[in-house]
Structure 1
């Protein structure tokens, strides 16, 4: 089938529209694409594991230049290692990073800090295709509070910060427009793996359905164990009659308001009540007690194939087939295999690492002092260490 014949059956992963009341380009139909994707990842145990491993390999063992990694970059006391770790987390989930920088009166960068990528939105392009500002809000869903009041998504609660442009004449013009250096908000270096001025989709976007299915399967397993019936058997016994007499000598049978059967059902649900015996009292049955074995419905087996295929696709989306093969026992668990897996995955994350390296290089070429004389912003890749526990004990 031709590609154009399929266009009606597929849709854009991100719908981008202009929100005139806020002056921004929406990040998804509801402007909450990054928040929604992060929630989907967090709710899936498999996706969370893969995303964390992806972030760990992007971060590696930190910068090769140790002194550079320990350098304090802002008034809050964050080191470059601290900032780098947060950037790698954003990159692993959303394929983008954002860094805020402040300047001194000499138009030199004196401070930088991480800005959560999900908090950033692009303003509209001008006639030249240039985006002049990045809109930053602490929570675009409007649920976050300060002093007990919700931070509504309104213009007065949004910071519109100039995009990164280290040219002195541009910075001076921005400082003047702000009313002085004390009112100047600095600039934001916003970088997307999708390209300039383009919202990226996350690494796990292609398996968003599978990640949501993984969460659903976990819920089924939980309810199967916690809320299913696991009685070993039911025993039926005869109920005696409690007969009394009124003042005139007439027989009176007690009204049965007993709700013990319902209470018993509750006591037979869940894993802690497995294999209990349920007693059912019969009022008019004259026969001897009868024991009836019960077989509960186990839903785990119904989703075995779905569970396996979902997990495999999530691992595949993150390029982590070696770990999946180890997990299912397709290959052995040995040092050689793990070394190969580490080497393989270091090549997978190299593109993300290079983008972060270039970003730091751009910023520190305009820093007010020489921080990294070697200009080496590369990251030391993760390596599998054999007998790590023994090595740690010998230190």
Structure 2
């Protein structure tokens, strides 16, 4: 089948449109693509596990240069390693990072801050195809509060910050245009693995449907255990008549106001009520009680194949097949296998690590002092430590 015949069945992963009232390019149709993705990952147990492992391997053991990793980079006391850990999480979820830098009056970088990638939006390109500023808002959903008041998504609540350009002539001109160093907002280094000035999608995007399905399967399992009818019985018994007489001596049949059937039925649901017996009193004249067993459907069995395929696809999307094979018992659990798995996955995350390394190099090559004399911004990869080795070291 030709490609043009297939396009009707596919859709753009990230819808981008221009929001004129804010002067930005929307990140998704509702401008909440990264927020939605992060929520879906968090709701999926398998997705969270894979995303956490991906972030851990990108971060590794931090910068090789210990002195640089402990170097304080802002007034809050954050170290280079602290900032690195935050950007690795963003890289794992979105394939993009954002860093904010402040300058001194000499046009030198003196401070580095992490900006959550989901808080950044691109302005529209100018006639030359250049995006000059990054729009930053603490919560594009408009639900976050400060002093009890929601931070609405309006221009007055958005910081429009110049994109990263460390040329002294450019920085000094921006400082002058801002009215002085005290009014200058600095610059944002916004980096995307999808390309320059292009909103990225993370590894989760290709299995976002599977992650949502994984959440749904968890809900089914929860309701199956908490709300299903486990093996039990209902006993139907004969109801006796309560006969009284009114003031005139006329016979009056008592009325049973018992409306507890619904409440009693609830008591037969869930794991803590397994095997209970319910008694129901009838108005008819049965000669003996009748025991009616309750039969329920185990929905877990209906989704066994779906559950297995969803988990496999999520692991595959993150390139974590070795851990999936260990999980399902396809390969044994041994030190050699785990050591090979660690070495394999370090090669998977090397591209993300190199991009982060280049990003830090771009910033600290314009730092006001020599923060990293070796100019080595590489990361120590994670290594599997065998129990025997740990025992020897402890000894």
Alpha-carbon offset, residue 393 of structure 1 = 9.2
Cα pair 1:142 1:153 within 8 Å, conserved: yes
What is the distance in 2 between the residues matched to 1:159 and 1:326? Answer: 47
Q: What's the counterpart of residue 267 of structure 1? A: 267
Answer yes or no: is 1:215 the counterpart of 2:215.
yes
The alpha-carbon distance between structure 1 residues 305 and 12, as it changes in their structure 2 partners (threshold 3 A), is same
What is the distance in 1 between the residues matched to 2:393 and 2:355? Answer: 37
Cα pair 1:98 1:117 within 8 Å, conserved: yes
Q: Match of 2:8, SS? A: coil
Please show how residues 261-300 of structure 1 align to structure 2 within 5 Å. 261-300=261-300
What is the distance in 2 between the residues matched to 1:341 and 1:386? Answer: 13
Please show how residues 313-352 of structure 1 align to structure 2 within 5 Å. 313-352=313-352
The alpha-carbon distance between structure 1 residues 90 and 266, as it changes in their structure 2 partners (threshold 3 A), is same
Alpha-carbon offset, residue 238 of structure 1 = 1.6
What is the distance in 1 between the residues matched to 2:211 and 2:306? Answer: 12
Alpha-carbon offset, residue 389 of structure 1 = 9.7
Cα pair 2:232 2:268 within 8 Å, conserved: no
What is the distance in 1 between the residues matched to 2:314 and 2:70? Answer: 35
Cα pair 2:229 2:294 within 8 Å, conserved: no
Deviation string 1:318-349 (CA, Å, 9 cap, x unpaired) is 11111111111111111111111111100000
What is the distance in 1 between the residues matched to 2:3 and 2:233? Answer: 60
Give 5+ residue unaligned stretches, structure 1: none
Alpha-carbon offset, residue 293 of structure 1 = 2.2
Q: What's the counterpart of residue 66 of structure 1? A: 66
Alpha-carbon offset, residue 270 of structure 1 = 1.0
The alpha-carbon distance between structure 1 residues 8 and 392, as it changes in their structure 2 partners (threshold 3 A), is farther
Q: What's the counterpart of residue 379 of structure 2? A: 379
Q: Match of 1:57, SS? A: helix
Answer yes or no: is 1:196 the counterpart of 2:196.
yes
Deviation string 1:82-141 (CA, Å, 9 cap, x unpaired) is 101100000000000000000011111100010000000011111111111000000111
Q: What's the counterpart of residue 55 of structure 2? A: 55
Cα pair 1:24 1:124 within 8 Å, conserved: yes
Answer yes or no: is 1:235 the counterpart of 2:270.
no
The alpha-carbon distance between structure 1 residues 385 and 134, as it changes in their structure 2 partners (threshold 3 A), is same
Q: Match of 2:135, SS? A: strand
What is the distance in 2 between the residues matched to 1:291 and 1:20? Answer: 69
What is the distance in 2 between the residues matched to 1:183 and 1:254? Answer: 84
Deviates more, 1:277-286 or 1:48-57: 277-286
What is the distance in 1 between the residues matched to 2:266 and 2:393? Answer: 51
Cα pair 1:97 1:191 within 8 Å, conserved: yes
Cα pair 1:231 1:277 within 8 Å, conserved: no
Q: What's the counterpart of residue 109 of structure 1? A: 109
TM-score by length of 2: 0.98
Cα pair 1:231 1:268 within 8 Å, conserved: no
Q: Give 4+ residue runs of structure 1 displaced > 6 Å after superposition.
A: none
The alpha-carbon distance between structure 1 residues 364 and 388, as it changes in their structure 2 partners (threshold 3 A), is farther
Query: Number of residue pairs matched?
Result: 395
What is the distance in 2 between the residues matched to 1:391 and 1:130? Answer: 57
Alpha-carbon offset, residue 51 of structure 1 = 0.3
- Aligned Cα root-mean-square deviation (Å): 1.4
Alpha-carbon offset, residue 20 of structure 1 = 1.1
What is the distance in 2 between the residues matched to 1:364 and 1:146? Answer: 33
Deviates more, 1:245-254 or 1:35-44: 245-254
Give 5+ residue unaligned stretches, structure 2: none
Q: Match of 1:8, SS? A: helix
What is the distance in 2 between the residues matched to 1:118 and 1:262? Answer: 47
What is the distance in 2 between the residues matched to 1:261 and 1:211? Answer: 40
What is the distance in 2 between the residues matched to 1:134 and 1:388? Answer: 51
What is the distance in 2 between the residues matched to 1:119 and 1:389? Answer: 43
Alpha-carbon offset, residue 284 of structure 1 = 2.0
Q: Match of 1:161, SS? A: strand
The alpha-carbon distance between structure 1 residues 391 and 322, as it changes in their structure 2 partners (threshold 3 A), is same
Q: What's the counterpart of residue 83 of structure 2? A: 83
Q: What's the counterpart of residue 96 of structure 2? A: 96
Q: What's the counterpart of residue 121 of structure 2? A: 121
What is the distance in 1 between the residues matched to 2:180 and 2:247? Answer: 99
